[in-house]
Amino acid sequence: MLRYTLMRLGIFVGCLGVVWGLVYSGVAPRGLGDSNGMWVVLLSLVISAPISFVVLRKERDRASIQVAERVDRMKSNLEANRNQEDGADDAARAQGQAS
């Protein structure tokens, strides 16, 4: 997941650099007043999102498989702990009834 996040951040930073260059060279329009920085960041986000969606598809699928495996492992561990507690509780009750 960290690898995917870093790759996505890298694409955003690349888009930010390109958009910044285009805005300050006059090819792309500048923002109004002091909003130029916000304009550059927002435009970079809008451009980097579809690029990340297409370019990082395999990495995103790999990350989702890892997350799903981790969730399944945690669920099985939780179920095993629950069964272990139930067994210990049943044994304690059986021992208490025998006394």
Looking at residue 78, what is its pLDDT? 86
Average pLDDT of span 10-30: 89
CB 49 within 8 A of CB 16: no
Residue 99 has pLDDT above 60, yes or no: no
Inter-CA distances, 28 with 10, 20, 21, 40, 96, Å: 22, 9, 9, 10, 80
Give the pTM: 0.65
Mean pLDDT of the 30-37 span: 72
Q: What's the token pair of residue 38?
A: 């916000």
pLDDT of 33 strictly over 70: no
Measured distance CA(51)–CA(11) in Å, rounded: 8
Q: Tens of pLDDT along 38-88?
A: 888 999 999 999 999 999 999 889 988 988 999 999 998 888 777 776 666
